[in-house]
Amino acid sequence: MSNPSKTPPLFAQSAQDIIERLKDDEGPEPEAMRLKALELLRQFAGWMDEAPEAADRLRAISELFALYGRVLDYRSAAIKK
């Protein structure tokens, strides 16, 4: 029996936003952040079919927030250049 999570669209949208913010940036740092966002996006999509264990959910959401912070710092530094 399927036990879908009700929150993945919110988290998936945040991961997609990261990918969009970095789509025109080149180099290893933005590429690594895009790949991590894509990994998280896929993970959140899986939650629509089956809710994750609480520890897995907390880890993925924490990774998303940390990644979003890195992206904002990166973009802020790029603007200051």
Q: pLDDT digit string (tens) for 49-64?
A: 889 999 999 999 999 9
Q: How far apart are CA 81 and CA 76, in angstroms?
A: 9
Distance CA 38, CA 18 (A): 9
Greatest CA span in the chain, whole angstroms?
Answer: 53
**Domain ranges within the chain, ordered by starting residue:** 8-80
pTM of the model: 0.88
pLDDT score, position 1:
44
**Helix residue spans in 22-53 (DSSP H):** 28-47
**End-to-end alpha-carbon separation of the chain, Å?**
53
